[in-house]
Structure 1
């Protein structure tokens, strides 16, 4: 018997709700990471609210130690935004810059030393000679450079790229497994914990790119944890 067309709706896979880490769990995970570059990266994810790719793309000129802030730039030319640099990360970050500068000086001495420039910068400086000069500037080098030089498949140039995302991701998985925390722990979980703990401390949502006045993401004491601060003029006051 012909019953005609029967419309069938395909079931949708429910969206996965990320596991929210407590402050104690974040500390447990970070303590399980050996001192070094990965620990600094995870500190920036949780302490400054950076995405992993935002962190790995940071350039030397993006960090302002005097004002304790980091400029997060979009490689496609979208508006930049600011986030706070926790006090506890200033020393490790300065040590990292010393290491990056040593590598850059070695590369320059070997006839290399230029770095990939984002499309927005390339469009701003169409002259090839000027771009080549910019690419060798210290302020434009990656804070987290790769350990080895490699050939850029787009340009054919030999240069030092940034650390690949897989390196810290693997380190975080290993650290999380060693803690026995029964939650999904990844780089996004650290950033989500930053936002949640900031709200718990009485702050509104983190910055919105393009806002008239970029809002720094929270205030910190000597640790990576946000702490309540006195009301600031012009800022919304926490309820209660």
Structure 2
């Protein structure tokens, strides 16, 4: 088994997400290329430091990029090679800039939705009405939607944690229409010998029939099936993030919005407007799925309590 295959096997055994696996494999390959194909077992802390410092200087990497590369290499040595790396004393850490989140007004959000067609409008309303991340919204399955209790189960969100998210009463009818559309399509797919959806490996082994059941179908399925890399079977995935991002960007331009209209500011807007409505910070932390309350507190800096939370002396 090659080194990269060992990395992938270990990550799947530990139930890491496919995106994390893709990112870690990318950085491990880059690390080996940087040192001209030398095996990581023959390298140590100095080689890791040289790669991270060299990449940061050459690519002007952001702090989050450097941290991701560092985590990938630490995973390689600790989990795959079973080796410990000493402290990286000479590592030049990139500084994380402090940016306030970009927020749309309520009217701008509604105007944006008017220029989005289904299913993109329904996805946008989930981002703004429930505060979920884009990939979390796209990963929702039929079984995760509870219209009666007006909530959504977000499975394996950031940090691999499940949580409950609000479901707007306004979005209820739209989601019911989406559920009906998924059911109709799934019925047609089953009639033609298809209808299988991708599943986590452990769930596929535990519940073999789940892949063809309506309950586990994606709420926002892709237009056509593709090959599952693990099973080599034709399965249906959810819509790709880039398709939704492009649709929201085009809708923002069509609506003539001057503020940045992309998917993540809709989540920021949910956060800011909920705080303005009086939601306490701890409840709010749970709704957003933040591990650290300090991440949540940043939204208090942009809540509208007058301009910047104070009154200008000129207005007196």
CA distance in 2, matches of 1:53, 1:83: 14
Deviations 1:172-228 (A, max 9, x none): 1011112332222211100000000000001123242599xxxxxxxxxxxxxxxxx
Deviations 1:119-140 (A, max 9, x none): 45346x2xxxx42x12111111
Of residues 168, 175, 198, the one that matches 1:86 is 168
Q: Does 1:26 align with 2:109?
A: yes
Q: CA deviation at 1:28?
A: 2.0
**1:25-174 maps to which residues of 2 (within 5 A)?**
25-34=108-117, 36-74=118-156, 78-119=160-201, 121-122=203-204, 125=206, 130-131=207-208, 133-174=209-250
Cα offset, 1:18, TM superposition: 3.1
Determine which structure has the larger helix proportion and give its number.
2
Q: Bigger relative contact order, structure 1 or 2, given CA contacts below 8 A and separation 6+? A: 1
* Structure 2 Cα separation of the partners of residues 14 and 159 of structure 1: 41
How far 1:75 sits from its partner (Å)? 6.8
Provide closer, same or farther for how the CA distance between residues 142 and 14 of structure 1 changes in structure 2, counting only shifts above 3 A. same
Q: Contact 2:204–2:210 at 8 Å: present in 1 too? A: no
Query: Which of the two has higher C-alpha Rg?
Result: 2
* TM superposition score normalised by structure 1: 0.74
Deviations 1:16-57 (A, max 9, x none): 4332212122122222223x1000000000001111101110
CA distance in 1, matches of 2:132, 2:183: 23
Select the residue among 173, 177, 190 that pairs with 2:253: 177
Number of residues paired by the alignment? 197
For the Cα contact (< 8 Å) 2:204–2:211, is it kept in 1? no
Check 1:169–1:193 CA distance in 2 against 1; reply closer, same or farther (3 A cut): same
CA distance in 2, matches of 1:84, 1:94: 15
**RMSD (CA atoms):** 2.6
Cα distance change on mapping 1:61 and 1:156 into 2, 3 Å = same
Is the partner of 1:14 in helix, strand or coil?
coil
Structure 2 gaps, min length 5: 1-89, 292-316
**TM-score with structure 2 setting the length:** 0.57
